[in-house]
Structure 1
Amino acid sequence: MLSIIVPCYNEEESLPLFINEVEKVAVNIEHKLEYIFVNDGSKDQTLQVLRNLHKQMPDKVRYISFSKNFGKEAGLYAGLQAAKGDLITVMDADLQDPPELLPQMIQMIEESDIDCVGTRRADRQGEPPIRSFFAKMFYKLVNKFGDTEMVDGARDFRLMTRQMVDAILEVTEYNRFSKGIFSWVGFKTEYLSYENRERVAGETSWSFWSLFKYSIDGIVNFSDAPLTIASVIGAISCIGAGIALLFIVFRALIFGDHTEGWPSLVSIILFVSGIQLLCIGIIGKYIGKIFLETKKRPIYIVKETEEK
């Protein structure tokens, strides 16, 4: 069986198009298919569309509906937990992930010793330049400072064996970053490249700000480098302040005290204060993550499934 996990947030327009395209590809797939749609607190008619799809294909379509919006990471985790297949894939409902790659991905796993076939965009054509710039910077930073390597342009769209999915499910942390977890658990992975695609319908829920916060979470979750950087900045500032203090004392002893320099003094104070606030903010981010983990809150809450 092949399990297809599809997190959904306001995808009422995309879902019928998505399932039609996958069904066209299914004729070239020998595996039995199961769709697992995870409704992540959508505000449109996504849930009603999923109910209708289940009525049309009760043996194929399953759905999980959250009590509110818990985020895509929670949707992925819920889908992986519900999947029954020997092979499991994660796809977006907007058809930016090409379904026609599935037969090739299945063949690659079945004819070799790899555990996962990932996909990556060959380019970022159609994406705003500033978003592309920050995305590339994110991958450079996380690969430079982190212990887990992440492939630039990699998508969540990937085909995994049951063994790899079981390993991912053992990572039960509340603060989840799936791209990092997919890499962290190991297992042999190969990547397929494809041309970037636009959404077939609807609008993306990922704004620049939400992507920025998501990237910060990715760096914090898989690297303690920001804490090291904060410590180094603090040490350099302390040493620099000590040297400056000695210089001022000796200058006053040799040349006498001067009252000039107040603007520069205020600038230095503001600069050092800014560094301190930056370092406190970095430390606070990590403490916040610890705080959320210790609460032991559920990653998601289910309100409705196709069974009830």
Structure 2
Amino acid sequence: MTKKLSIIVPCYFEEESIPLFYAAVEKVKPQLPEIELEYWFINDGSTDNSLAEMKKLNEQDPAHVHYASFSRNFGKEAALYCGLKNATGDYVTVMDVDLQDPPEMLPEMFKYINEGYDCVGTRRMNRKGEPPIRSFFAKLFYKLINKISDTEIVDGARDYRLMTRQMVDAILEMSEYNRFSKGIFSWVGFKTKYLEYKNQERVAGETSWNFWKLFTYSIDGIVNFSQFPLDLASFFGFISSLISGLGIIFIIIRYLIHGDPTSGWASTVCLILFVGGIQLMFLGIIGKYIGKIFTEVKGRPIYIVKEKK
């Protein structure tokens, strides 16, 4: 019995990569017996010829190639969610169009799905080709979030994974506006197997991810899947209050014994500035959580589709 595999491909300024990606996956197709392919290319507000390339593929293969084009750039998380919403396959995979996610791994992934796994994910064995500073902070992020969050996020894990329909339906039930897919994939559970592979270079174009975007993305991941920053703020608040209380008692006792000396104003000013800085930092943390709540309660759509076929 033939089953369908939906391939979700978020695209942002990827006009060169789209036809190369389609050709690469089609080469692997003969190795997937009794599997029908369904492509969902999601144009995340690209202003180059990405949409035109999607339309060309749709004209060549209208039964299998589909696309959705956003009214503006909503981000990869929104594009991924849109793909999941539109996918009709018995199985669903998420892949980067730049071929850093090797299509050649699909037959092996199906092998484990047939053995009873609900999800077969991928993780990079190394970060060859990345700037050393980015690799350092990426490893630091995974170590940090796995210590402060109840949801385990595998170091080096990619969005590239093959999932059963049951797992996809569970993910779609999580319709929050602030999305961090790596955490969501882990949070829903299900039996998961990870396959390792060496880092692949892009086949064309340049990545739109810079260090600042990755940094803010990691902060979103921590805020979405951990309350530790709030716990840390409470802890420092308690410690500061305790030290201040002890300091007041010390000052009263010293006044009763030695009178009221005027020295020490410099250290007092430094202490005030230090405590003020700590307070501002943790107000920023609390503000980040409040900002997330604000965007959730507004109930705005995660994305807006301008054109779909």
State the TM bucket, normalised to the shorter chain: over 0.9
Matches within 5 A, 1:104-183: 104-110=108-114, 112-183=115-186
Alpha-carbon separation, structure 2, partners of 1:24 and 1:55: 19
Aligned to 1:96: 100
Match of 1:231 among 213, 220, 234: 234
Give me the whole-angstrom Cα distance separating, in 2, the residues matched to 1:35 and 1:89.
10
What code does the residue aligned with 1:92 have? D
Partner of 1:28: 31
Aligned match of 1:11: 14
- Residue 256 of structure 1 deviates from its aligned partner by 3.3
Aligned counterparts of 2:151 and 2:179: Cα–Cα separation in 1: 14
Secondary structure at the aligned position of 1:27 is classed as helix
- One-letter code aligned to 1:86: D
Distance 1:235 1:251 in 2: 24
Separation (CA, whole Å) in 1 of partners of 2:247 and 2:100: 56
Amino acid at match of 1:216: I
Deviation at 1:136, TM superposition (A): 1.3
Superimposed CA distance per residue, residues 109-150 of structure 1 (whole angstroms, 9 cap, x where no aligned partner): 01x111000000001122112211211121112111111111
What amino acid maps onto 1:15 in structure 2?
I
SS in 1 for 2:31: coil
- 48-57 or 255-264, larger mean C-alpha shift: 255-264
- CA shift, 1:249, in A, is 2.8
For residue 97 of structure 1, give the secondary structure of its aligned residue in structure 2: coil
Residue 52 (1) aligns with residue 68 (2)? no
Gaps of 5+ in 1: none
1:41 aligns with 2:49: no
Structure 1 runs (4+) deviating above 3 angstroms are none
**What stretches of structure 2 of length at least 5 have no aligned partner?**
none
Kindly state the Cα deviation for residue 224 of structure 1 after the two structures are TM-superposed: 1.0
Q: Identify which of 79, 82, 90 aligns with 1:78.
A: 82
Partner deviation per Cα, 1:208-251 (whole Å, 9 max, x = no partner):
11111111111111111111110001111111112222223322
What per-residue deviation string (whole Å, max 9, x for no partner) do you get for residues 161-185 of structure 1?
Answer: 0010011011111111111110111
C-alpha distance in 2 between matches for 1:171 and 1:299: 12
SS at match of 1:24: helix
Deviations 1:45-100 (A, max 9, x none): 11111111111111221000000111111101100111111111000001110110
Would the aligned equivalents of 1:143 and 1:149 in 2 still touch at CA under 8 Å?
A: yes
How many residues are treated as equivalent by the alignment? 305
Give the structure 2 partner of residue 286 of structure 1: 289
Residue identity (%): 67
Offset of residue 19 of structure 1:
1.1
Tell me the CA shift for residue 261 of structure 1. 2.3
Provide TM-score, normalisation by structure 1. 0.96
RMSD: 1.1
Question: Which piece of structure 1 moves more, 246-255 or 140-149?
Answer: 246-255
TM-fit CA distance, 1:34: 1.0
